[in-house]
Amino acid sequence: MDTIKERRVAKSGIIEEERLFNNLLSSQPLCFNFFGELKNDSVLALRMLQRFYPELTEVRNVIFEFAPKGKYTNDNSAFDVAFEVMAGDKKGLVGIECKYTDAFSLKEYDREEYRGIYNESKNAFLAPYKDFVASRFNQLFRNQLIGEALIQNKECDFVLTGLFCHQNDDIARNTAAEFQNMLRDGKSKFRVITYQDYLETIQQLDISWEL
């Protein structure tokens, strides 16, 4: 409930309460179930993230349905979960798209704001704009644009993005792998974390028996 209140105050990111509390096949409750513990324990959050991003030195906050106040993409795009982090004296964000039984949106979205952010950060992209706005990559592209806009507007020094999905979701994983190759330094800037990766990492940490 605290997160819902936070999103209402921020007026960014959309949390569908009916879906959250009543549809356990959707990705939104899955996101809370996997990452809720990390919001309450920043040390655990850091130790988990360091297995995937060893350069991180601090987790300052965990935000569900994160969208910047600046609404740079001028739409409802948001990271399902975002970690406000530090890497030394550099301020950053790790933004994750979560998938469970739902597929990537097949609708193509294209706005003037997208092209503006893309052109401003053109060196970050290896593929032409038309490839990114295609339905297959559109959702991941819009998330990437949030990250690039945060850097452009000096809200972050760096942004790392990724996909969180089931290890046997070949469609999501293959789409993400192709998207990764469309980004400059894609393997370091965008990565796929599976449920198995996450659970094995948590279990290898020094955690309480309850957790």
Per-residue DSSP letter, 123: G
- Given a cut of 60, whether residue 3 has pLDDT beyond it is no
Q: What is the pLDDT of residue 7?
A: 40
Model confidence pLDDT, tens digit, residues 83-102: 999 999 999 999 999 999 88
CA-based diameter of the chain, in Å? Answer: 51
Using alpha carbons, select from 207, 208, 201 the residue that is nearest to residue 51.
Answer: 201
Interacting residues of 155 by C-beta distance below 8 A, sequence separation 6+? 68, 70
Residue with tokens 């800037």: 189
Q: For the chain, how many residues are written?
A: 211
> Which run of H or of E encompasses 190?
strand 190-194
Model confidence pLDDT, tens digit, residues 157-191: 999 999 999 999 999 999 999 999 999 999 999 99
